[in-house]
Structure 1
Amino acid sequence: MIKIHREGYTILFVTLVILFAVNVLVHWLTDEIWIRNVSIIASLIVYGLVLQFFRNPDRKILRDENKIIAPADGKIVIIEEVEEQEFFKDKRLQISIFMSPLNVHINRYPVSGKIEYAKHHQGKYLVAWHPKSSTLNERTTVVIQNPVWGPILYRQIAGYVARRIVMYAREGLIVRQGDESGFIKFGSRLDIFLPPGTVPSVKIGDRTVGGITVIAEKR
């Protein structure tokens, strides 16, 4: 049985009502059986796609203070040293995970610790792989103070399709590695900024599983 994330309850209900209304209208407007059948099949496909987007699979979360785990499902698209301007204002290793609409879109804390900084920014909706989406798009920035790694920053970024970011993080909260930190609806990107000199455990093109895949670890 498919387990559905709570962020999908309202959207799934509204989608069901709209599709039901569309099919009632089609049945009222035409007696053609094939048109009615096409409407029903198309509605089932649409609802199935929305349903799978909000799926919430059971996972055995990896928790290890010496490891940083992937905060999201998706594909590694960026690994590079950059100047992080919002919080650190110095060089950090950026690892970016692109989430397609087919991925599970639950976001998770990459490390345990105390949330030192949490902020939501309004912005544009450039495609998630655009180089400037990290600073121009709607986004959230969260910094977790971890006793092993120091401050770790991750950023949820809305894309062209994803226009709704949910952030559970609040400043002062004590959080546990792998627990849910938020949700991005309908595809986007998540950036994580690690201490300079960190050797990543992933490479460009690797697929990640949120809460399980190790993206860096202390040697």
Structure 2
Amino acid sequence: MKRSILRILAVSVFMFCMTLCISQTSLAAKAPRLNLKKLDLTKGTTFTIRVYNLSEGDTAVFKSTDTDVLKINSVADNKRSAVIYGKTVGKATLKVNIKRSGKVIDTLKCKVKVAPIPVSIKFSDNSITLLEGRQAYIDVIIKPYSATETPVFESSNEDVAVVNVHGLVTAVAPGKVTITATLLSTGKTATCTVVVKEDPDDD
């Protein structure tokens, strides 16, 4: 009898704990959050900050801790997103107050670093040679060094070699291609020639 009672109590406690854990997880999953907690922004460019999991009736109020560095250009009609603008080089924090019935119930933050506009870009090597099937990163040098913009990479012939967003080149077949890196903020480009040779070990 005692064992049965203890077993029932143990099961009840376990089920209660599971229900509590699931409820807490559910609440955490639905808590308001921003699409980013950290952001590198190039001076003169914009980015859209979004608030997710905002309950019906709640509103988001966007504020910059330093309007000389970071400016809020516009706020969407639904108060769930805002376009921010990197005004000058520096650091600022975007604070988003979540309001319900006029009271602040939560504050979300995104640390923003506004970097200078890059003035030049070049590859560390003008050309590289790869064996078919091999991979290599091609490094770019962007000045000033404090610039944080990531260039867009493109291959002139993906049948010979492909390049991913991080500058990793994969040799596909023998031939020669040009890899181009472009800074979208200024349109400046750099090129690197990739020569792909047949791997002798494949014979």
| TM-score range relative to shorter protein | under 0.3
Q: Is the strand fraction higher in 1 or 2?
A: 2
Higher helix share: 1
Q: Which has the higher contact order (CA 8 A, sep 6+)?
A: 1
TM-score (norm 1): 0.26
Say which one has the larger Rg.
2
